[in-house]
Structure 1
Amino acid sequence: MVTCERCGETLTEPRPCSYCGSQFCADHRLPESHDCAGLDEWRDTGGHFDSGFDDSMSAED
């Protein structure tokens, strides 16, 4: 049985966080709602966000 990592609610429809991968209820599914460590890494001004898009393969090629 899966429970929300933030409040402990039993989940019938778990919602994994895209940043940290933990399971949350509807109220805590957003990174801002569960103090997501992954969100802090994304906001790091010294870091680099990699969208996975490789601009060397543009549509004009």
Structure 2
Amino acid sequence: MVSCNRCGETLLDARPCSYCGAQFCADHRLPERHDCAGVEGWDRRGDRFDSGFEDDASA
């Protein structure tokens, strides 16, 4: 069985964090809820999805 890397809760549906790869429960799944080290450079790397909606707003 896999357990949450933050609180130790046993996980039935284990899904890794997209940024650090660790396993977390529903309460700690979001990067900001487990102090994710993998998300620190996300904006700087340019990996953020750009929908382009902000560009169309001024048209």
* TM score, norm. by length of structure 2: 0.70
Number of aligned residue pairs: give it: 48
Instruction: Show structure 2 runs of 5+ residues with no match.
Output: 49-59
Q: Secondary structure at the match of 1:38?
A: helix
Partner residue of 2:46? 49
Aligned equivalent of 1:18: 18
Amino acid at match of 1:12: L
Q: State the alpha-carbon separation in 1 of the partners of residues 32 and 11 from structure 2.
A: 19
The residue identity in structure 2 corresponding to 1:15 is R
Looking at structure 2, the residues matched to 50 and 29 of structure 1 have their Cα atoms a distance apart, in angstroms, of 20
Q: What amino acid does structure 1 have at the position aligned with 2:2?
A: V
1:24-39 equivalences under 5 Å are 24-39=24-39
What does 1:1-12 align with in structure 2 at a 5 Å threshold?
1-12=1-12
Segments of 4+ in structure 1 off by > 6 A?
none
SS of 1:24 mapped into structure 2: coil
CA RMSD of aligned residues (A): 1.5
Contact 1:15 1:23 in 2 (8 A): yes
Measure, in 2, the Cα distance between the counterparts of 1:10 and 1:42. 29
Percent identity at matched positions? Answer: 69
